[in-house]
């Protein structure tokens, strides 16, 4: 397996902030980067060598894109399967289309995990209303109804607290293919980001502890709190899943941790993950550089932490009172500011993140939360939804 060396061109399907941060890591190592998505002037496109704007179902455009690069990867898992297959006709696609096929559908994903013996909550696949009624009788309540495809950040989900709420939940998700999962009264949520090379070598960043607000990741910290044996077990499971899926690239495994310490796999993401953003500042090798190294067939880098760290997301809600106070946050020496180049600041939209390193993960968490509070616009500031110098629509 001949490695793809610096100076080569990496193609990225998708053009959001994950593609942007990947492109920055790739260009730093001397690679060229081309992006492909239906949009233009995107977060990834702004920092890439070339941005191709075409629909994902324009397979001739996809093949032409693939001919101009040496390897293809992706920055989000909802790239259509036919798009990945068209690119794979021309160049290697890593992770493979087979990995995409599993994780793009929650039924396939949960079925794979259960079949391979990984711990998941009880679930039932739903194809139609008859199947839905049978699933409710079997799983009971409380439960969570999720669309089989295209859901993220709480979208496409409805909680059923009691059987009488089932019909409303079915209507809320659009009466389409779904999965019904028994509700997990978890104590904590953690994630494990695993990199797997072309040679099968593995690297991970340990267990990262996550806090959500309104179903959107709010704060991550590493190392995770709690019993280190639970963290070690999560890493063991995460590595095993990456091997069973034959991932070449980066895989994030999200877990629920029950009060008993039992781990349940919630979701998989076959690309860098929001919870792993803190690795950019906290680790010898970031999750984005590991993705690059893996898909190019290079040895993986060291994943050790320089210091404990935390990350806080910056959402578009912050702009509703005016332009955030960038000067105030930049005046805090231990805070790193990362913005994604998005021009329109909308509520719940991820516009950037803050990271901090400290003596403990708890201290780092306090630092990023304090810094985010410092970003809040002054009350007399003029309302703004724009970010100066950025024009993308992603």
**Which CATH number characterizes residue 146's domain?**
3.30.1490.20
Q: Are residues 230 and 370 in the same domain?
A: yes
Residues of the domain holding 35: 9-93
Q: Are residues 21 and 130 in the same domain?
A: no
Per-residue model confidence (pLDDT) at position 154: 58
Per-residue model confidence (pLDDT) at position 300: 98
Per-residue model confidence (pLDDT) at position 163: 87
Percent of the chain having pLDDT more than 70?
95
In sequence order, the 6+-apart residues with CB closer than 8 A to the CB of 59 are 82, 83, 86
CATH number at residue 269: 3.30.470.20
Q: Are residues 18 and 54 in the same domain?
A: yes
Closest CA to 21 of 281, 284, 207, 333: 281
Per-residue model confidence (pLDDT) at position 393: 33
**For helices 17-28 and 287-295, angle between their N-to-C axes, nearest 10 degrees:** 70
Q: Are residues 146 and 261 in the same domain?
A: no
Q: Does a structural domain hold residue 287? A: yes
Q: Does a structural domain hold residue 210? A: yes
Question: Which mean pLDDT values do the consecutive 10-residue runs of the chain (394 residues) have?
Answer: 95 98 98 97 97 98 98 94 96 96 95 98 94 92 91 75 91 92 95 98 98 95 97 98 98 97 97 98 98 98 98 96 94 97 94 98 98 83 44 34
Question: pTM, whole model, 2 decimals?
Answer: 0.93
Q: Which of 44, 75, 93 is the last residue of a domain?
A: 93
Q: Are residues 31 and 73 in the same domain?
A: yes
Q: Are residues 258 and 342 in the same domain?
A: yes
Per-residue model confidence (pLDDT) at position 379: 56
Q: Does a structural domain hold residue 296? A: yes
Q: Does a structural domain hold residue 333? A: yes
- Residues 61-101: pLDDT tens digits? 999 999 999 999 999 988 999 999 999 999 999 999 999 99
Asked if residue 355 lies in contact with residue 282, where contact means CB atoms within 8 angstroms, the answer is yes
CB atoms inside a 10 Å sphere around CB 114 = 15
Q: Are residues 202 and 275 in the same domain?
A: yes
Rounded to whole angstroms, the Cα distance separating 175 from 169 reads 9
Per-residue model confidence (pLDDT) at position 389: 37
Question: How many domains, the chain?
Answer: 3
Q: Are residues 144 and 168 in the same domain?
A: yes
Asked if residue 277 lies in contact with residue 340, where contact means CB atoms within 8 angstroms, the answer is no
Q: Does a structural domain hold residue 4? A: no
Per-residue model confidence (pLDDT) at position 159: 92
Sheet of 157-160, strand order: 123-126, 178-182, 143-147, 157-160
Q: Does a structural domain hold residue 218? A: yes
Q: Does a structural domain hold residue 113? A: no
Q: Are residues 159 and 89 in the same domain?
A: no
Asked if residue 369 lies in contact with residue 354, where contact means CB atoms within 8 angstroms, the answer is no
Q: Which of 137, 161, 182 is the last residue of a domain?
A: 182
């Amino acid at each position: 397996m001949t490695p793809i060396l610096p100076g080569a061109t990496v193609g990225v399907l998708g053009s959001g902030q994950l593609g942007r941060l990947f492109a920055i890591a790739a260009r730093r190592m001397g690679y060229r980067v081309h992006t492909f998505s239906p949009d233009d002037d995107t977060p990834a496109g702004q920092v890439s060598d070339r941005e191709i704007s075409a629909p994902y179902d324009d397979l001739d455009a996809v093949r032409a894109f693939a001919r101009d690069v040496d390897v293809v990867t992706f920055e989000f898992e909802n790239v259509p399967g036919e798009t990945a297959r068209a690119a794979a006709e021309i160049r290697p696609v890593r992770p493979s289309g087979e990995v995409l096929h599993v994780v793009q559908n929650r039924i396939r994903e949960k079925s794979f995990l259960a079949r391979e013996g990984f711990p998941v909550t009880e679930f039932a696949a739903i194809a139609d209303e008859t199947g839905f009624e049978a699933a409710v009788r079997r799983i009971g309540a409380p439960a969570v109804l999720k669309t089989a495809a295209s859901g993220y950040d709480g979208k496409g989900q409805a909680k059923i607290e009691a059987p009488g709420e089932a019909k409303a939940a079915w209507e809320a998700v659009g009466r389409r293919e779904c999965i019904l999962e028994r509700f997990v009264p978890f104590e904590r949520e953690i994630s494990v980001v695993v990199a797997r090379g072309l040679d099968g070598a593995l690297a991970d960043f340990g267990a990262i502890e996550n806090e959500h607000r309104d179903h959107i990741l709010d704060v991550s910290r590493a190392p995770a709190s709690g019993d280190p044996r639970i963290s070690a077990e999560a890493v063991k499971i995460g590595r095993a899943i990456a091997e069973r899926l034959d991932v070449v690239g980066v895989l994030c495994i999200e877990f629920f941790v029950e009060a008993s310490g039992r781990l349940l796999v919630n979701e998989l993401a076959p690309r860098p993950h929001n919870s792993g953003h803190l690795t950019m500042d906290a680790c010898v090798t970031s999750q984005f550089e590991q993705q690059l190294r893996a898909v190019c067939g290079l040895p993986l880098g060291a994943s050790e932490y320089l210091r404990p760290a935390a990350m806080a997301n910056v959402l578009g809600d912050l702009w509703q009172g005016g332009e955030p106070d960038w000067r105030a946050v930049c005046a805090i020496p231990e805070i790193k500011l990362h913005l994604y180049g998005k021009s329109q600041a909308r509520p719940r939209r991820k516009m950037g993140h803050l990271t901090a390193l400290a003596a403990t993960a708890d201290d780092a968490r306090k630092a990023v939360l304090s810094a985010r509070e410092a970003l809040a616009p002054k009350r007399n500031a003029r309302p703004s939804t724009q970010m100066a110098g950025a024009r993308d629509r992603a």
